[in-house]
Amino acid sequence: MSDAPATPASDALAPAQERAPGGFSRSALGRLLRHRSGSLGLVLTVAFAVLAVVGPWIAPYGPAVPDYTHLAKGASGAHWLGTDAFGRDTFSRVLAGARYSITIGLAATVIGAFVGGAWGLLAGFLGGWFDNVSMRVVDVLLAFPGILIAIGLVTITGPGVGPVILASAVFGIPVFARLARGSTLEVKGRAFIEAANALGVKRPRVMLKHVLPQVIAPILVYATLRSGSTLLVASGLSFLGLGVQAPAPEWGGMLSDAQLWLVVQPLMAFAPGIAITLAVLGFNLLGDGLRDVLDPSVGR
């Protein structure tokens, strides 16, 4: 299970010593578009994001509509990617499933990055006992392989879309917390923060106006890199039967059903499997590209 393909949180993730202010400029986008694999990642990611919105509308059949006269059939003019064990159109299910799988993956990453980022920023900025306790808690969370935390949480909350988002978000929180704390500590030591403090700028303002903008770029890059593995964990939960439940067309769950029918109709497994792989590939390539363009020292 590739639940953490990128380099995990470590000091290697600390931001570069000097970075031009306002990392996401137009030139950054231009450089990303000239970045060969990065631009491919951008295209794939945008395509899947669009699919998550329009997928259910452009699907030729309803994703849960059975056709008992066409069970587990191969590709045909009427069913481009064949049908599943209930005669449901596989192509339509993959299209409609984008809304589940992509939304869950993105939502979980955003929540994980936001909560973990805020936590790490606070811990690094405040220091003292709060920082100490926070980092011990992060140590404990990181002592468990990520997917175990997700499996544990989703077992407590029960199956469903919300629980999968929550579980996959928590999977990322300790990593983002550690990354944000590291960046915050590094920024805190720089001269312009000292200057702001000396000028009597209020502490919350220093944190939000001066530290936060410097910390946000590495978090954004890492969030993009991380969204691929988050999608893998989320669909993995559904594959294990702990996540989104049938008949919802979530890709991981579809693969789990399809494994039983592998001998009869392999298309049932190939279609959602290729969909997940391409989506994760898109996120990974985009993340690599962003890192190269914005900040070569993040998560090498």
Partner 1 sequence: MLLYTFRRLLQAVPTLVGVVVLIFFFVRALPGDPARLYAGTDADRATVEAIRQRFGLDRSLPEQFVYFVGGLARGDLGRSFRANMPVKDLLARHFRATLVLASIAIVAATLLGIMLGVAAARRRNSALDLGITSASVLGISTPSFFLGILLIYVFAVKLRVLPVAGSVSLKGIVLPAATLAVASLGTIARFARSSLLETIGNDYVRTARAKGLDPRRVINKHALRNALIPVVTIVGLQFGFLLSGTVIVETVFNFHGLGWLLIQSVEARDYPAVQGLMLVFALQFIVINLVVDVLYGLIDPRISYE
Interacting residues toward partner 1 by CB under 8 A? 1-5, 7-8, 37, 136-137, 139-140, 143-148, 151-152, 155-156, 158, 228, 232, 235-236, 239-240, 252, 255-256, 258-259, 262-263, 266, 269-270, 272-274, 276-277, 280-281, 284-285, 288, 300
Paired strand residues for 89: 83
CB of 138 to partner 1, least distance (A): 10
CB of 49 to partner 1, least distance (A): 17
Nearer to partner 1, 150 or 165 (CB): 150
Nearer to partner 1, 54 or 148 (CB): 148
Percent helix, strand, coil in the chain (nearest 5)? 70, 0, 30
d(CA 65, CA 294) in angstroms, rounded, equals 46
CB of 300 to partner 1, least distance (A): 6
CB of 171 to partner 1, least distance (A): 11
- Which residue pairs, CB below 8 angstroms and at least 24 apart, start in 27-33? 28/293, 28/294, 31/293, 32/289, 32/290, 32/293
Nearer to partner 1, 127 or 152 (CB): 152
CB of 186 to partner 1, least distance (A): 20
- Please check whether residue 29 is in contact with residue 42, taking contact to mean a CB–CB distance below 8 angstroms: no
Nearer to partner 1, 52 or 151 (CB): 151
40 alpha-carbon distance from chain centroid:
18
Nearer to partner 1, 191 or 263 (CB): 263
Three-state SS at 112: helix
- Please check whether residue 234 is in contact with residue 164, taking contact to mean a CB–CB distance below 8 angstroms: yes
CB of 211 to partner 1, least distance (A): 28
Render the burial of 176-189: b for 16+ CB within 10 Å, e for the rest: bbbbbbbbbbbbbe
CB of 69 to partner 1, least distance (A): 26
d(CA 63, CA 94) in angstroms, rounded, equals 8
* 284 contact partners, CB below 8 Å, separation of at least 6: 5, 41, 225, 228
Q: Output the CA–CA distances (angstroms, integers) from residue 217 to 21, 24, 137, in the order listed.
A: 10, 8, 25
